[in-house]
């Protein structure tokens, strides 16, 4: 019984291992094959017109699109009460993720008031695949 349990746990851990996808073509292939992707953004390794915080965020979008074999795109909408520009106010943040075939990764952020979706701010963060953005399947 003990050997059986160890074997089952080993199989589960092997099957749940998330592999890093280090090139655009690997990520595009994962999209084509219906793999669930996780985008990990290390914001301090990126650039923007705003001061960037020392934050690492992992996003697992529910839909990812490959466009013309040249661009991978996804989005996420996040509700929060912790937006620094609107403390203790309900906000909705829409994030658009774009990865181009040359490795340029763009993260477009729009912060809105949750009660009426009035735009509060928007900005863009620029990263590179492997430097600021890591993708796992």
Q: Which residues contact 31 (CB under 8 A, 6 or more apart)?
A: 37, 64, 65, 66, 72
Q: How high is the pLDDT of residue 135?
A: 98
- Distances in Å between the Cα of 57 and the Cα atoms of 1, 61, 74, 84, 116 are 40, 12, 15, 16, 26
Q: Assess whether pLDDT exceeds 70 at residue 1.
A: no
pLDDT band at 110 (very low <50, low <70, confident <90, very high): very high
The C-alpha atoms of residue 103 and residue 120 are separated, in whole angstroms, by 30
Q: How high is the pLDDT of residue 17?
A: 54
Give the pLDDT confidence of 33-89 residue by residue, as tens digits: 999 999 999 999 999 999 999 999 999 998 999 999 999 999 999 999 988 888 999
**Which value, in Å, is the radius of gyration of the alpha carbons in the chain?**
18
pTM for the whole structure? 0.81
Give the pLDDT confidence of 3-41 residue by residue, as tens digits: 433 444 444 444 445 699 999 999 999 999 999 999 999
Q: How high is the pLDDT of residue 18?
A: 65
Q: How high is the pLDDT of residue 136?
A: 98
The C-alpha atoms of residue 94 and residue 120 are separated, in whole angstroms, by 12
């Amino acid at each position: 019984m003990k050997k059986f349990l160890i074997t089952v746990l080993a199989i589960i851990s092997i099957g749940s291992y998330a592999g890093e996808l280090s090139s655009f073509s690997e990520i595009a292939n994962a999209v084509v094959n219906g793999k669930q992707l996780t985008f990990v953004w290390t914001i301090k390794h990126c650039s923007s017109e705003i001061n960037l915080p020392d934050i690492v965020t992992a996003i697992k979008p529910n839909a990812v699109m490959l466009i013309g074999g040249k661009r991978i795109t996804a989005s996420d909408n996040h509700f929060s009460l912790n937006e620094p520009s609107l403390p203790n106010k309900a906000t909705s943040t829409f994030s658009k993720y774009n990865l181009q075939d040359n490795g340029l990764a763009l993260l477009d952020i729009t912060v809105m008031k949750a009660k009426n979706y009035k735009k509060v701010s928007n900005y863009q963060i620029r990263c590179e695949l492997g430097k600021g953005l890591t993708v796992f399947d």
